[in-house]
């Protein structure tokens, strides 16, 4: 069953306003088996509202429209929908008297423009609004049910819940959508998809179908699995099996199947193994320490960090030999190794991490261009070192450096 969500209001088309109503509406619709296929935001313009409504009734089983139900000239949702359905708008005297009472309770005489809110397309069901003046409307069509709700979340949410419970939940035969996310790092998107696609593509045709979306974010790939099932239990069984199969195919590059970020996964591993960590950062500038300490309870394993931006700091805070920096360069495998090992020794921790590199935009050379980053991870005295070539701006290089260091540690601890 397919759903469309439309938000009406010119203020939603400025650079400052994000549409958040649609997230809540999506969650509620998914739970009763509707798949949201289109979200749109239009200006307060009757032609443009009508065009989106017209388009949706070609394919959507339900269309939820928020906004444009107020008393002003700008509020055109009722008119637009009536035009598309070719029905007349009629004054509902019950709504008028309800509005008049509402105003009277607040000691105000109802101004005439509020009568707009009582105009109802012929055949519509009126939905009560307990938290505001604009009633909602439900128009049942041969294919598409159209639900008109006010924009303010406080008014919209209880009305949505009521219309879903009383009017829509039967429509979809109650299959719902349930989701799972796999997070993967250390492999490019195309390679992940080449491995995963043969695994997930048959799932769309099974009894509990699962659709899969691949999403590349900075320093990680996400696989979103969505199961359509009659119950949470049925979805859970299918999703567990799907996650296991993908893990089998993708191996240890999968670091999370429960939404947790890499710093939380690594934090749990350190905690469970009773290990402590200290980090020495140059180009990542404290971002690794900050991400590790974003995790509640990280003080149990995070002992200290040093951000040794200058060479003097590397010598004084870590005892990296000045000679080594001069002969090998600050961005080099021996220096990264010395940083990782020294910070662990000085902090008396099991784990030490060293990151040194060129975050740019300046400081690159032909041999060591911007994006050259060396990461060293030392676990109980055994150290691994990797030289990476990262892309992007300064903040991207910082993020990927921290991501690579945590992933190296994760693989060494696994």
Among 256, 363, 364, 412, binds its own copies (CB under 8 A): 363
- Dist CA 184 CA 392 (whole Å): 20
172 binds its own copies (CB under 8 A): no
263 binds its own copies (CB under 8 A): no
101 binds its own copies (CB under 8 A): no
Task: Report in angstroms how near the CB of residue 111 gets to its own copies at its nearest.
Answer: 5
Subset of 285-344 contacting its own copies (CB under 8 A): 285-290, 292-294, 296-299, 302-310, 312-313, 316-317
Measured from the CB atom, the residue of 372 and 383 that comes closer to its own copies is 372
13 binds its own copies (CB under 8 A): yes
252 binds its own copies (CB under 8 A): no
Write down the residue that tokens 């240890």 correspond to: 252
256 binds its own copies (CB under 8 A): no
Whether 275 and 267 have beta carbons less than 8 Å apart is answered as no
Measured from the CB atom, the residue of 313 and 411 that comes closer to its own copies is 313
106 binds its own copies (CB under 8 A): yes
End-to-end CA distance of the chain: 43
Helices 262-273 + 394-413 axis angle, to 10: 30
Task: Report in angstroms how near the CB of residue 219 gets to its own copies at its nearest.
Answer: 12
Identify the three-state secondary structure at position 143: coil
Whether 213 and 179 have beta carbons less than 8 Å apart is answered as no
Relative to beta strand 62-66, strand 145-149 is parallel
Measured from the CB atom, the residue of 123 and 394 that comes closer to its own copies is 394
Question: Which of 286, 410, 302, 316 minimizes the C-alpha distance to 347?
Answer: 302
Measured from the CB atom, the residue of 15 and 142 that comes closer to its own copies is 15
Question: Which of 55, 74, 230, 44 minimizes the C-alpha distance to 146?
Answer: 55
Stretch that binds its own copies, among 76-84, 163-171, 213-221, 249-257 (CB under 8 A): 213-221
Whether 357 and 373 have beta carbons less than 8 Å apart is answered as yes
Continuous segment of H or E residues that includes residue 155: helix 153-163
152 binds its own copies (CB under 8 A): yes
Identify the three-state secondary structure at position 225: strand
Q: 324 vs 200, 335, 388, CA distance in Å? A: 50, 7, 20
Size of the site for its own copies (CB under 8 A): 110
43 binds its own copies (CB under 8 A): yes
- Spell out, one character per residue from 44 to 83, where the chain touches its own copies: x when CB under 8 A holds, - when not: xx--x--xx--x---x----------xxxxx---------
Task: Report in angstroms how near the CB of residue 10 gets to its own copies at its nearest.
Answer: 5
Measured from the CB atom, the residue of 268 and 290 that comes closer to its own copies is 290
Subset of 385-404 contacting its own copies (CB under 8 A): 389, 391-396, 398
Task: Report in angstroms how near the CB of residue 122 gets to its own copies at its nearest.
Answer: 25
Strand partners, 225: 180, 212
Stretch that binds its own copies, among 159-167, 239-247, 373-381, 384-392 (CB under 8 A): 384-392
Identify the three-state secondary structure at position 389: strand
CA 326, chain centre distance (Å):
45
Stretch that binds its own copies, among 84-92, 105-113, 319-327, 375-383 (CB under 8 A): 105-113
Continuous segment of H or E residues that includes residue 177: strand 176-184
């Amino acid at each position: 069953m397919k759903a469309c969500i439309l938000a009406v209001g010119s203020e939603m088309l400025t650079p400052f306003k994000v549409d958040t109503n649609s997230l809540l509406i999506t969650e509620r619709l998914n739970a009763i088996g509707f798949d949201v296929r289109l979200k749109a935001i239009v200006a307060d313009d009757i032609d443009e509202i009508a065009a989106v409504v017209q388009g949706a009734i070609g394919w959507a089983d339900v269309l939820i429209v928020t906004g444009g139900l107020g008393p002003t000239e700008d509020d055109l949702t009722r008119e637009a929908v009536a035009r598309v359905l070719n029905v007349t708008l009629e004054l509902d005297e019950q709504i008028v008297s309800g509005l008049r009472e509402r105003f009277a309770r607040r000691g105000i005489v109802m101004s005439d423009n509020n009568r707009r809110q009582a105009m109802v397309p012929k055949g519509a069901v009126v939905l009560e609004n307990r938290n505001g003046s604009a009633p909602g409307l439900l128009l049942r069509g041969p294919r598409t049910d159209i639900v008109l709700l006010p924009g303010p979340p406080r008014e919209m949410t209880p009305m949505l819940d009521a219309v879903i419970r009383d009017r829509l939940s039967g429509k979809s035969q109650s299959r719902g959508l349930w989701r799972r996310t796999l997070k993967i790092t250390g492999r490019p998107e195309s390679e992940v998809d080449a491995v995963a696609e043969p695994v997930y593509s048959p799932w769309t045709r099974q009894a509990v179908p699962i659709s899969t979306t691949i999403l590349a974010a900075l320093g990680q790939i996400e696989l979103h699995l969505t199961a359509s099932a009659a119950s949470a239990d049925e979805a859970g069984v299918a999703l567990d099996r799907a996650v296991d199969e993908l893990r089998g195919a993708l191996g240890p590059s999968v670091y999370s199947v429960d939404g947790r970020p890499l710093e939380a996964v690594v934090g749990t591993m350190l905690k469970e193994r009773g290990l402590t960590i200290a980090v020495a950062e140059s180009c990542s500038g404290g971002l690794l320490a900050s991400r590790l300490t974003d995790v509640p309870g990280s003080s149990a394993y995070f002992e200290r960090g040093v951000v040794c931006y200058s060479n003097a700091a590397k010598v004084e805070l870590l005892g990296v030999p000045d000679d080594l920096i001069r002969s090998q360069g600050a961005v080099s495998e021996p220096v990264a190794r010395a940083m990782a090992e020294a910070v662990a020794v000085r902090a008396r921790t099991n784990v030490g991490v060293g990151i040194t590199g060129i975050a740019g935009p300046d400081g690159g050379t032909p041999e060591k261009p911007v994006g050259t980053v060396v990461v060293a991870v030392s676990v109980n005295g055994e150290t691994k070192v990797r030289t990476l070539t990262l892309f992007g701006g300064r903040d991207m290089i910082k993020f990927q450096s921290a991501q690579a260091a945590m992933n190296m540690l994760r693989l060494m601890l696994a």
